[in-house]
């Protein structure tokens, strides 16, 4: 919150580690891929009512302001919903608390150098949020005309909770992801969940984002522990305390995963990469913490490149999908006793050197079969049939542990 003002130089390009097109946290830091910045789509504000989304900054086509330049300040709650074709959900509290002053003022959002605001006819960012239940006061995109969308989305859902200490930039990242904009001030006490239909790897998903507002570290975590399918744990690279706070969140998540034996993907995010010159937490430290807890690591900036922020959220969805694939129930294999089974399903004959050629593995055959331990429990063990045989270099048996030899 109290970061130095905006006369800074541009930081290095955003870097991240992950798998797929990027690197996992535990991979060599030498494979750092910083320095590249994808172009974010241009966001243009319509000219309307004089309120031009003051306090809203953008870079690389998404920053609406220039460092140190006077940004027109909005009135409280004057987020230009209508200009985007959205309306705040009726009766819901305003999520954003914008500055009071209506006078132009230097942008407090430590906005970054970037092209000046382009004004053009309204072209609302592609975003579809909707209110779902009492928490879903998603002022960021409830469609104006509810008849445009079916009431029940058939889309698969992915719930992402954003955790971290106060001021780390959770709300800024959420808003950036949802609106492609950087808005510098938020009400720190409100916790909200937003949803957005996304296309991740050509597959649609209803991505729900919970912007949490823990007062002082992880407290009453059940609300997100039980809800989320992935977590983004955010710290600010210019604030060591926020980094240390992340560790507590990661510990809570690790404990929870152990307790319920359900591992949700976790991404550790170093935010405010544009504040490079005030950096207090090295990338290597972030990477090392991430690898300690087995999570992915990215560094981003809510006020710079939208595509990097979007990438992180999409990466969370990918991880959830991977996890779901990993957790798919494995169809049990059965092994016949003594007689070979008729080929009911596609037989998977073991290689003859395993000396189990007389047994045929099938999926679900009818007669007297013993269940093999599941893949997760199974372990390959090598058994020598007898000492004498072993002396004669008899072939060894490689079996699944826990399975009886008949």
Ligand X SMILES: Nc1nc2c(ncn2[C@@H]2O[C@H](COP(=O)(O)OP(=O)(O)OP(=O)(O)O)[C@@H](O)[C@H]2O)c(=O)[nH]1
DSSP H stretches of helix in 274-351 = 283-292, 306-326
Nearer to ligand X, 46 or 141 (CB): 141
Closest CA relative to residue 333, chosen from 345, 321, 342, 323:
345
The least distance separating ligand X from the CB of residue 236, rounded to whole angstroms, comes to: 7
The least distance separating ligand X from the CB of residue 398, rounded to whole angstroms, comes to: 53
Nearer to ligand X, 46 or 192 (CB): 192
Nearer to ligand X, 23 or 273 (CB): 273
Strands 157-164 and 230-236 turn out to be parallel
Nearer to ligand X, 6 or 195 (CB): 6
Q: Which two tokens stand for residue 289?
A: 């913490």
Nearer to ligand X, 186 or 293 (CB): 186
CA 344 to chain CA mean position, Å: 43
Dist CA 274 CA 181 (whole Å): 15
Dist CA 278 CA 239 (whole Å): 9
Dist CA 113 CA 92 (whole Å): 34
DSSP H stretches of helix in 261-305 = 283-292
Dist CA 363 CA 357 (whole Å): 17
Nearer to ligand X, 2 or 382 (CB): 2
Q: What is each CA distance from 386 to 183, 353, 391, in whole angstroms?
A: 74, 17, 9
The least distance separating ligand X from the CB of residue 211, rounded to whole angstroms, comes to: 7
Nearer to ligand X, 275 or 399 (CB): 275
Nearer to ligand X, 300 or 359 (CB): 300
Dist CA 209 CA 192 (whole Å): 8
Q: Which two tokens stand for residue 40?
A: 């974010």
The least distance separating ligand X from the CB of residue 188, rounded to whole angstroms, comes to: 3
The least distance separating ligand X from the CB of residue 172, rounded to whole angstroms, comes to: 3
Which residues of the chain form contacts with ligand X (CB under 6 A)? 1, 3, 109-110, 164, 166-172, 184-186, 188, 213, 271-272, 274-275, 301-303
Dist CA 195 CA 68 (whole Å): 33
Strands 203-211 and 296-299 turn out to be unpaired
Assess contact for 233 and 246: CB atoms under 8 A.
yes
Dist CA 296 CA 265 (whole Å): 8
The least distance separating ligand X from the CB of residue 189, rounded to whole angstroms, comes to: 7
3-state secondary structure of 252: helix
Nearer to ligand X, 74 or 164 (CB): 164
Nearer to ligand X, 46 or 109 (CB): 109
The least distance separating ligand X from the CB of residue 98, rounded to whole angstroms, comes to: 11
Work out the number of other CB atoms within 10 angstroms of the CB of residue 293.
19
CA 325 to chain CA mean position, Å: 17
Q: What is each CA distance from 232 to 16, 143, 160, 265, 270, in whole angstroms?
A: 14, 26, 7, 9, 10
The least distance separating ligand X from the CB of residue 306, rounded to whole angstroms, comes to: 12
The least distance separating ligand X from the CB of residue 267, rounded to whole angstroms, comes to: 15
The least distance separating ligand X from the CB of residue 116, rounded to whole angstroms, comes to: 18
Q: Which two tokens stand for residue 162?
A: 């954003």
Burial class (CB in 10 A: 0-12, 13-18, 19+), 78: buried
The least distance separating ligand X from the CB of residue 271, rounded to whole angstroms, comes to: 5
Nearer to ligand X, 54 or 335 (CB): 54
């Amino acid at each position: 919150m109290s970061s130095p003002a905006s006369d800074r130089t541009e930081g290095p390009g955003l870097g991240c580690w992950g798998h797929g097109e990027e690197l996992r946290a535990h991979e060599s830091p030498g494979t750092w891929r910083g320095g590249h910045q994808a172009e974010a789509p241009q966001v243009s504000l319509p000219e309307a009512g004089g309120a031009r989304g003051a306090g809203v900054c953008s870079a690389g086509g998404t920053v609406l302001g220039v460092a140190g330049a006077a940004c027109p300040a909005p009135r409280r709650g004057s987020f230009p919903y209508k200009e985007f074709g959205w309306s705040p959900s009726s009766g819901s509290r305003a999520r954003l608390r914008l500055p009071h002053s209506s006078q132009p003022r230097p942008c407090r959002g430590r906005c970054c150098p970037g092209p000046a605001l382009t004004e053009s006819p309204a072209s609302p960012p592609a975003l579809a949020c909707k209110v779902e239940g009492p928490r879903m006061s998603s002022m960021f995109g409830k469609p104006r005309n509810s008849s445009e969308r079916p009431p029940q989305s058939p889309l698969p859902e992915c719930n992402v909770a954003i955790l971290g200490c106060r001021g780390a930039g959770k709300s800024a990242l959420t808003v950036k992801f949802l609106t492609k904009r950087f808005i510098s001030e938020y009400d720190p006490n409100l916790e909200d969940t937003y949803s957005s239909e996304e296309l991740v790897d050509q597959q649609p998903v209803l991505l729900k984002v919970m912007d949490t507002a823990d007062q002082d570290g992880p407290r009453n975590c059940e609300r997100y522990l039980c809800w989320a399918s992935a977590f983004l744990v955010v710290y600010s690279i210019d604030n060591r305390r926020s980094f240390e706070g992340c560790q507590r969140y990661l510990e809570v998540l690790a404990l929870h995963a152990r307790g319920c034996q359900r591992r949700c993907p976790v991404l550790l995010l170093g935010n405010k990469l544009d504040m490079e010159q005030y950096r207090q937490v090295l990338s290597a430290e972030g990477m090392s913490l991430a690898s300690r807890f087995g999570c992915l690591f990215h560094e981003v900036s809510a006020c710079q490149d939208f595509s990097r922020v979007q990438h992180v959220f999409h990466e969370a969805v990918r991880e959830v999908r991977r996890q779901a694939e990993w957790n798919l129930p494995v169809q049990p294999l059965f092994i016949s006793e003594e007689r070979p089974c008729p080929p009911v399903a596609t037989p998977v004959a073991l290689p003859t050197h395993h000396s189990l050629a007389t047994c045929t593995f099938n999926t679900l055959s009818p007669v007297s079969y013993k269940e093999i331990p599941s893949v997760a429990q199974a372990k390959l063990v090598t058994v020598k049939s007898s000492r004498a045989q072993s002396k004669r270099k008899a072939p060894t048996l490689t079996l699944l542990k826990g399975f009886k030899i008949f």
